[in-house]
Amino acid sequence: MEAGSGRRGLLISKGWVQAVMLVVLFGFFVFGLQAYRAYSGQPPIPDRVVDSQGEVVFTSEDVRAGQGVFLRNGLMQYGSIFGHGAYLGPDFTADYLRRSALFVRESYGGRVQTGQRC
């Protein structure tokens, strides 16, 4: 370094700067690639779903119609279950647990009448 140039030298070597830049560029490349894959891929939608008796429960058209309702009404931030999801709107955890308990109780024959509390 010349005495009269007024510039101070780097405190770290140029190799470190190049390594950091390479890591940053590689990281953003991987991040961009994952973002592209997330938005270009589509989840599989079955043509139809049938129950154990072979009756159609819903079809792919029903799924697409439900997606349309979901998008049209902006329901992405409406509610959450177990704290995952939206910050706006109600938390459906208690409702989900109550409905699940009722479903399990009914699938095992209903309320027990022998003095046990459910």
The ranges assigned to domains in the chain are 11-41
Give the C-alpha distances (Å, rounded to integers) separating 15 from 22, 75, 84, 110.
10, 50, 43, 72
- Mean pLDDT value across residues 1-10: 67
Give the pLDDT score at 9: 75
In this prediction the pTM is 0.40
Q: What's the mean pLDDT when you consider all of the chain?
A: 82
Instruction: Assess whether pLDDT exceeds 80 at residue 87.
Output: no
Query: Residue 94 — pLDDT band, cuts 50, 70, 90?
Result: confident
Average pLDDT for 2-19: 78
**pLDDT number for residue 3:** 57
Per-residue pLDDT of 36-76, as tens digits, reads: 988 887 778 899 999 999 999 999 999 999 889 888 877 77
- Whether residue 118 is predicted with pLDDT greater than 90 in this model: the reply is no
From the CB of residue 93, how many other CB atoms can be counted at a distance below 10 Å?
Answer: 14
